[in-house]
Amino acid sequence: MTGYSSLSISALVGSHDRSGFHCGVPALDDYLHKQAGQDVKRRISRVFVATTAANPLAIVGYYTLSTLSIELGQWPDKFARKLPRHPIPAALLGRLAVDRQAQGHGVGRMLLVNAIERTLAVSDQIAIHAMIVDALDEPAQRFYEQFGFSPLGSGGHRRLFLPLKSF
């Protein structure tokens, strides 16, 4: 993992070079280039970026976090039986992307671990039952499943969850 073994992950700030980021998925690139700063200012989501010591302004990966509530009927039956009969608070990992040059070096794994750790830290202050993610495609779904994420509900959606009590 030469060059990517000691990443710094921090909140997106104006001095980060968003225009140089390209992961190969236009929607994820466009979000970082055009929308991320506005979402942060409006408190819609928080954006966290990974950078290297060699170039602390160049973004090699990013993820977003926000909150949501999941209706009881969307949870798998074996989990829903143990939950109260009202919407359940969760953290949404809205986007996770790695720059093409950094792909295959474990950056995605480091970003996901950081997002889980950050969510766990917040869950000591406010209630968060699980982390939710909408996997973009089949490979993304497999990526999340290897970390213990499970399908949420049915209907062919790629929405997955990870109960935080498992940590």
Q: What is the pLDDT of residues 40-60, one digit of tens each?
A: 999 999 999 999 999 999 999
- Tell me the pTM: 0.91
Res. 4: pLDDT tops 90: no
User: Does some domain include residue 160?
Assistant: yes
> Residue range 16-30: average pLDDT?
97
> Residue range 1-30: average pLDDT?
91
- When pLDDT is cut at 50, 70 and 90, the band that residue 1 belongs to is very low
Residues annotated as part of the active site: 144
Q: How many domains does the chain have?
A: 1
Per residue, the 3-state secondary structure of 69-108, as one string, reads EECHHHCCHHHHCCCCCCCEEEEEEEEEEECHHHCCCCHH
- Could you tell me the CATH number of the domain that includes residue 70? 3.40.630.30
User: Does some domain include residue 2?
Assistant: no
Confidence (pLDDT) at 156: 58
- When pLDDT is cut at 50, 70 and 90, the band that residue 115 belongs to is very high
Res. 150: pLDDT tops 80: yes
d(CA 153, CA 132): 12
Q: Work out the widest C-alpha separation in the chain, in whole angstroms.
A: 50
Domain of residue 129 covers 8-166
User: Does some domain include residue 1?
Assistant: no
User: Does some domain include residue 44?
Assistant: yes
d(CA 51, CA 71): 36
